[in-house]
Amino acid sequence: MAITLVPNELDTDQALALVGELRSVFATGRTKSLEWRRRQLQGLIRLLQENEKELATALSTDLGKPAMNCFLGEISPPLAEARYALKNLTSWNKKSPAAVPMSFAPAKAWTQPEPKGVVLVVAPWNFPVLLCLAPLANALAAGNAVVIKPSEMAPAVSAVLARLVPRYIDPDAVKIVEGGVQTTTALLEARWDHILYTGSGRIGRIVLAAAAKHLTPVTLELGGKSPAIVTTHADIAVTARRLAWAKVTAAGQACVAPDYVLVESPVRAAFIEALMDEVGTADRFAETTRIIDERNTARLTTLLTDHGGIEAVAGGPRTDGTFAPAVIVDPDPSSKMMQEEIFGPILPVIEVENLHAAIDFINRREKPLALYLFSAAAEDEETVLTRTSSGSVGVNHIYYQTMLPELPFGGIGESGMGAYHGKTGFETFSHRKSVLRKPASLDPSFAYPPFSSMMQRIMRFMAR
């Protein structure tokens, strides 16, 4: 019996029935067809192209995002994911031959990808279109049935996606489920074949615990304190501009936003001066994204009152829901500002003696989702890449390393597990099945025990 989904909370029975319905659809085999996958990806491309204005309006309603920011940060990346998957789908889905040793001959071996089945994507509020539809592109390319749970904290986007997705994508195999915490909790009670969750580490642990009950594999895209390093070999003016832009874009409410800056002593004064100038005129970036709610505004305001450093550029809440950016110089390392992810337009700057001191500072903390290095020196780059561990690294710019379908996106340690985007996303939502085939026509008796002494010597020789 078909289920009518409405933007109300689901209970556990409804969630289980929904998954059962999708399993029935998946069992027909329709989603495994490459032609079906192509149609869904083409539908996703049309959805994004034909409804950019409506999606931008919803993003403005929920978050106050400017239209061009919506295109660059929310529309263009999933569009690129779908196009890239469509272009490469045939090659990704091919069998991969495996070498067979002489002792196994005659035989052929290979691996072949197959869809995992019914997967769940739980998206956050900060990039509610991107983080619903980019994983969807990967899951569809792999041939899965999908449930997407948009964030209830972006209700306009959630409602638009719930209305548009069934128009462009197979409504029997892909469902948008609206609702809040109760709905998410109910969905996590069901057995899935894969779960991709983007959000906080606290909720990530809940998702992981729920998945463990069913031994469900998960991809967790979490956050953390992503550092930026500024060395004596950096172009200070460009570095300050790019850091200021990155920190005010989306009001700093991005999991890969630079959370703090470590600057080498010789360029500290010049960098702080340049950064203050950039942040002081940050309104020229025409950024109007609001802080998501009053609780987070209060949290950010509290961070500004107790950090033990110098407030070089004063920031704080505005009457329109936005937050004026702030620069904090040399905050207390034990303060909340330096212990918790800021997730807002506040940028602490900490002086370090040299690059090695910066690396030691980073390595004493949890592994970040992103790390940024500003330096023109190849030796600085090599040192940072070999001596630090992070989900990704951006050299001399910010965010761009997360926007290429060719590059996997994912964290490590506290910043997450698993990855997606491009071929990696296809593989995340696929199972690579191993196959070996031997003909039945050749079945000599000496291939079975008990083995003669001659056969034992031959087998040992062939196994070398």
Distances (CA, A) of 164 to 139, 167, 176, 199, 246: 18, 5, 10, 24, 31
Residues in the chain: 464
Letter string b/e over residues 221-239, b meaning 16 or more CB atoms within 10 A of that residue's CB? bbbbbbbbbbbbbbebeeb
Of the listed 221, 341, 351, 414, which one is catalytic? 221
Question: Would you call 255 a catalytic residue per the annotation?
Answer: yes
Catalytic option among 21, 74, 255, 341: 255
Nearest-angstrom CA–CA distance, 292 and 296: 7
Whether 221 is a known active-site residue: answer: yes
**Tokens representing 263?**
């600057």
Characterise 192 by phi-psi region: left (phi > 0), alpha (psi -120 to 50), beta (else).
Answer: beta
- The answer to whether the beta carbons of residues 197 and 203 sit under 8 Å apart is yes
Amino acid code (one letter) for 143: G
β pairing state of 416-417 and 218-221: antiparallel
CA atoms of 56 and 258, how far apart (whole Å): 25
Catalytic residues: 221, 255
